[in-house]
Amino acid sequence: MKNIVLLGATGSIGTSVLNVLRQNKEQFNLRAIALDQDLDSALKVDDEFHLESIFVASKNISSEHPLFNSNANICYDQEALKEIIQHPEVDIVISAIAGFAGLQGSFYAVDAGKTTLVANKESIVAAGDILLPLAAKRHAKIIPVDSEHNAIYQCLSGEKSTSAVSKILITASGGPFRDLSMKELEEVTLEEALQHPTWAMGSKITIDSATLMNKCLELIEACYLFDIPESMIEVVIHPQSIIHSMVTYHDGSTIAQMSNPSMEVPIANALGEDSRVPIHFNDLDFSSMSLTFEPIPEGREMIFEMARKVCREKGNLGAIFNAANEVAVQAFRDARITFINIYEVVDRTFNHFPGSNIATMQDVFEYDRQARIQAEKVIKSLN
C-alpha cells in the first residue's frame, strides 16, 4: 500500500487522479490533499477517502463549513504543507495544482526525495534548472503525468538515456482555432476559446491549448525531463488526440503511445511506476479510425521560437515566459484584452528581459514577480 499526497485535488487533473485511486484502493491510500477553496469538493473527498490532512490555500473561506468537522487535520500555512508532503510515510506526491502556484509543492516533494508525479508543467518550465539537479541529488523520481510527456516516458521504455533517440515528436490537438487565420483570431470570444474539441480540462489549460501556448510549455518541459535538445523535438497538429507522442530511434524504429483522450491513462501509468495499474477505459476502434497530422498553423510560429529559445538558454527565461502567459490568459478571462493580444503580451514581456542564470528558488520567484509586473504594463499599453 502506497501513501499518496494529492496537490490540486479539486481541479480537473485531481478529479481524474481520484477516479484512478478509487479503482485501485488495494494499492493506494490517499493520505492528504491540497486545494484552493472548493471546500464542498474537499468534503466529498474526505468522506470517501478518510484523509489524515487537508491543506487549504485560500484565506477567504468560512470556518463554519462542514469540512471543519472532519477528523482530518486542516491547515493553511506553507510550513504545514511542507510537513504534509515531506512526512516519512508519504511515498508519492502528485503535483496537480495549475500554474506557477504549483511550484512550491513540487519543490517540497523533490527536496524530500519523494516520487513526484508532475502534472504541473509550469513547475518544470519555470524552475527546471533547480528541480532536475535537485531530483538527482535527492534521488527523487520525477514521473510526468501530462499525456504527451507520459507518452514519451513510455516510448522510451525504461531507457536510461536518450543517446539512441533520433527524434521526439509531440502532438497537439490544435484546439478549437487550428483552422483560423491570425486575422480571424481577432474576433474569437472567451466562450469559444473554452470549447476544446477533444479534451475536458480546466479553463487556463484550455485557453493555452487554443493559443498553442500549452504546446510551447510542453516543448520546454520535454527538454528538461528527457535532457534532449529542442532541435530533436518536433511538434505537429494531430486533431484526433489519439497518438500523444512518438519517439524515433537511430535504427529507424518509431514507437508511438496511443489512447483515447483521457487523463486517467497517463495517471494510471505514472502511479504504476514499474507496473501497469488497471483502470476502466474505452478501447480504440481501429476499424473506423482516421489519423491525420498537420503543421503548426501559420502565424503561431513566433511563440514556438520563444519556447525554443527557452530550451536553448534556460535560466530565467522559462519563469518569464510562463509568467507572461499566465498574466495574459487571466487578462483575457477578465475581458481586459482580446484573445490575440495574448501573443503580444507574451512576446513583449519575454523580449523585455535579458537571459540570466538562476541558482535558487528565490531567483525563480523574483523573475516570476518581475515578469508579471512587466506583463501588466504591456496590458495597460494595449488599452
Task: Summarize pLDDT for 339-354 with one digit per residue, the tens.
Answer: 999 999 999 999 999 9
The ranges assigned to domains in the chain are: 2-144, 150-261+288-382
Q: Is the pLDDT of residue 159 over 70?
A: no
Q: Is the pLDDT of residue 63 over 90?
A: no
What pLDDT, on the 0 to 100 scale, is given for residue 350?
98
What pLDDT, on the 0 to 100 scale, is given for residue 197?
73
What pLDDT, on the 0 to 100 scale, is given for residue 62?
75
How much of the chain exceeds pLDDT 70, in percent? 99
What pLDDT, on the 0 to 100 scale, is given for residue 103?
94
What is the 3-class SS of the chain, one letter each residue?
A: CEEEEEECCCCHHHHHHHHHHHCCCCCEEEEEEEECCCHHHHHHHHHHHCCCEEEECCCCCCCCCHHHHCCCEEECCHHHHHHHHHCCCCCEEEECCCCHHHHHHHHHHHHCCCEEEECCHHHHHHHHHHHHHHHHHHCCCEEECCHHHHHHHHHHCCCCCCCCEEEEEEEECCHHHCCCCHHHHCCCCHHHHCCCCCCCCCHHHHHHHHHCHHHHHHHHHHHHHHCCCHHHEEEEECCCCCEEEEEEECCCCEEEEECCCCCHHHHHHHHHCCCCCCCCCCCCCHHHCCCCCECCCCCCHHHHHHHHHHHHHCCCHHHHHHHHHHHHHHHHHCCCCCCCHHHHHHHHHHCCCCCCCCCCHHHHHHHHHHHHHHHHHHHHHHC
Q: Residue 15 — pLDDT band, cuts 50, 70, 90? A: very high
Average pLDDT, the chain: 93
Q: What is the pLDDT of residues 306-327, one digit of tens each?
A: 999 999 999 999 999 999 999 9
Least confident of 29-38, 159-168, 288-297: 159-168
Taking residues 27-52, report their average pLDDT. 95
Taking residues 363-367, report their average pLDDT. 97
Q: Is the pLDDT of residue 287 over 70?
A: yes
Q: Is the pLDDT of residue 202 over 90?
A: no
What pLDDT, on the 0 to 100 scale, is given for residue 161?
72
- One CATH from 3.30.565.10, 2.60.40.420, 3.40.50.720, 3.40.220.10 for 2-144: 3.40.50.720
150-261+288-382 has which CATH code?
A: 1.10.1740.10
Q: Residue 195 — pLDDT band, cuts 50, 70, 90? A: confident
What pLDDT, on the 0 to 100 scale, is given for residue 158?
65
What pLDDT, on the 0 to 100 scale, is given for residue 160?
63
